[in-house]
Structure formats: structure tokens, C-alpha cells
Amino acid sequence: MKIYTRTGDAGETALFGGGRVGKDHLRVAAYGTVDELNASIGWAATQSVDPDVQARLGLLQHDLFTLGSDLATPPAHDGRTRPNVPSLPIQRIGEMETWMDMADAELSELRAFVLPGGCPGAAALHVARTVCRRAERIVVQLAATEEVSTDILMYLNRLSDLLFTLARLENHRHGKGDVEWEKNLKP
């Protein structure tokens, strides 16, 4: 199978289950941004030296493929049935909360806004967090006009919190404290 199909040369793409839409369609923007998030998390995993963080990021990458396949599959309409896609492991939301609680037990109390950065793993996790927030905003836009599982919205919201927490943990485990925003910093 060749990687190129030439079917998108006119600016359209096929959705899973049938139908074609413009590549600027909100559904395409949603699953495309989730794909970008997945790539960001993959990059963050290469920057982290913490095996626990790497393992968790690997699980999340598999989840994001599942989430993206759901977003790439429009609801059934016009006589078409919606193909079965893998189910998002909803229990992962609770697992992410547990992971955050475990990290928070190791971290100092958060008392101010934290600047993104620090060690390479933390900086990469902050980039992934911002991509996650963008994906969440686009999925919220899509959900305003088309059917989107509320599980997807919950998952992305929790994931961005987790990525922030993991960035703090990565810095902490590398002996770097949070760099807090100094709102009255003078030049």
C-alpha cells in the first residue's frame, strides 16, 4: 500500500465510515490536533528520563489514537451506519487523577502560576499541555454543532491537568523547582 493516495489533492479528506469533507472542516481540525497532541506526547517521552513518566505517556498515546478514531468517525446519518471504533478507556480518567494525586504528594504546594520550562522533559510536557488545551477547545467547538462523546471532553480536560502535573514532577525529580510567575517583575 502506498502512503500517497492523491485523493486529498483537491483539499478534501475521507472520514471513517464514509463521506468526504474539506480539510478545514472542524472535525478534521479536532482529530488532527489530537494527532499533533499525540506527537507532542511522543516527543515529551523522549525528553523524559523518568521511566514512570515514559510508561504513562505511552499508555496515553494509545488512548489518543482511540480518541482520534472516534473523532474521525461522524455520527450515522443519510442512511449510513457508524462503524464500530475502539472504545476510549474511560477508566483512564480515574487513573490520571490517581497519578496526579501521587505526584502532588511528592510536590510542593502550588501557590502561584508556573512558567513553562525547566528541564527538557518538563519543557516538552508543557508544550504537550498547551497542544492538549488547543485540542480541547477545538473539540468543544465541534461538540457545539455535532455529536461528540462527553468522555472525550472529560479525557482531554484531565489529560491537560496531568501533563501540567507531570511537568512539575519532572522538574522536581531533576532538582529544579517551579519557576513562578512574578507579576510585578521590573525590567
Per-residue pLDDT of 141-168, as tens digits, reads: 999 998 899 999 999 999 999 999 999 9
Residue of 4 and 114 predicted with greater confidence = 114
pTM: 0.87
Give pLDDT, residue 72.
83
Query: One-letter amino acid identity for 17?
Result: G
When pLDDT is cut at 50, 70 and 90, the band that residue 53 belongs to is very high
Rounded to 5 degrees, φ, ψ at 70 are -65, -45
The answer to whether 15 and 135 have CB atoms below 8 angstroms apart is: no
- Between residues 93 and 14, which one has the greater pLDDT? 93
Name the helix (H) or strand (E) containing 12. strand 12-14
Here the cell at position 30 is: 479536532
Q: What percent of the chain has pLDDT over 90?
A: 59
**What pLDDT is stored for residue 21 in this prediction?**
58
C-alpha torsion sign, points 86, 87, 89, 93: positive
Domains and CATH numbers, the chain: 19-75+87-173 (1.20.1200.10)
> What is the pLDDT at residue 52?
93
Banded model confidence at residue 4, pLDDT cuts 50, 70, 90: low
User: 70-129 pLDDT, tens per residue?
Assistant: 888 877 666 666 557 778 889 999 999 999 999 999 998 888 888 899 999 999 999 999
In whole numbers, what is the pLDDT of the chain averaged over residues?
A: 87
- Quick one: which of 114, 139, 170, 169 has its CA closest to 36? 139
What's the pLDDT at 56? 96
Question: Over 70: is that where the pLDDT of 6 sits?
Answer: no
